[in-house]
Amino acid sequence: MRLISFALLTFLAAPVAHAAPTQEDVAAARLAYIEGDYDAALKVIQEGAEAGNAMALNILGAASLDGRGVAQDTDKAIEFFERAAKAGEVRGYFNLGTLFLEGSPPVEQDRARATREFQSAADQGYAPAMTALGRLQETAEPPNHKAAADWYEKGHKAGDVVGTTNLAHAYVQGIGRNENWIKARVLYTEAAARGYPRAFNDLGVIHEEGYGVHMDQLTAYSFFLQAVNAGYPKAGKNIAELILKARFPWSSKHAALGYCIWAVRTAPDAEKASFQEDCEALVTEINPDAAMRERAERFADQL
């Protein structure tokens, strides 16, 4: 009996091994992390990463790069992304490509490394990487627009909505593809059907200017409005200018000014100055008094 008791005590005193989080656990933690519940999410994600889970390693890379829930550390981010990629997470390659394309102190921009990482992801069929390779070709010195459009088409066929929209733009511009407004409209419509904000905006431009379709300011307004509702700043500026040009009976100058104010507020930092300049020109044209400015501000607050 004493032997049995001793064995039982020994068993109870032994450390209990915890099972590593399952893929479902990590996926749920990823959603919690996206929602901002960092503490609870990162506990599961870190345990998953320690066990070699590729998704968890990739999330830790993103967390380290952004400094959300953990200290910002670009070198650690690279390490986690590399480990994730080696463990089979294709987005690890893509995130490495994005990091080296943009640069993140103390890591400088490295387009050659970015190209290699995007290529590794594209080789595994990852559509956004194909589009990214197209963007690299388009922004090269000198640019290779034909190669860019080829990659956009690959991205489009693989299901990337940005690739679809960029390919449409190539047809609009006649750069990298022969100008073809019908193909462009079909591609923009496909991207818009998937909810891509820029596609709504560009369809608005097509209908406002009559590119390959009958000029239709009402349809243009509808597309710009959908882009605004989807949070696309440039559409705010475009709809403001259209309101003044078309003189719609249901809209007004204060609404035009409100859309422009919203566009400036929501524009990326790198583009704010350009948006501000365009809206100042609109203000000069409208010449609003204090009451109209106040109504426009309230209108912008509601968007």
- Tell me if 275 is assigned to some domain: yes
Q: Which structure tokens are listed for 28?
A: 């749920």
pLDDT tens sequence across 95-152: 999 999 999 999 999 999 999 999 999 999 999 999 999 999 999 999 999 999 999 9
Q: At residue 12, does pLDDT exceed 60? A: no
- Tell me if 278 is assigned to some domain: yes
Q: Please tell me the predicted confidence (pLDDT) of residue 251.
A: 85
Q: How many Å apart are CA 120 and CA 61, to the nearest integer?
A: 18
Q: Please tell me the predicted confidence (pLDDT) of residue 20.
A: 85
CATH number of the CATH domain containing 206: 1.25.40
Q: In the chain, how many domains are there?
A: 1
Q: Which amino acid, one-letter code, is at 12?
A: L
Query: Which domain, by its residues, includes 278?
Result: 199-303
- Tell me if 47 is assigned to some domain: no
- Tell me if 149 is assigned to some domain: no
Q: What is the pTM of this model?
A: 0.86
Is residue 103 a contact partner of residue 139, using CB atoms and an 8 Å limit? Answer: no
Taking the CB of residue 269, how many other CB atoms lie within 10 A of it? 6
pLDDT tens sequence across 54-76: 999 999 999 999 999 999 999 99
- Tell me if 110 is assigned to some domain: no
The sign of the torsion formed by the CA atoms of 298, 301, 302, 303 equals positive
- Tell me if 298 is assigned to some domain: yes
* Residue 11 banded pLDDT, cuts 50, 70, 90: very low
Lowest mean pLDDT among 35-39, 121-125, 152-156, 176-180: 35-39
Q: Please tell me the predicted confidence (pLDDT) of residue 18.
A: 63
Lowest mean pLDDT among 87-101, 186-200, 275-289: 275-289
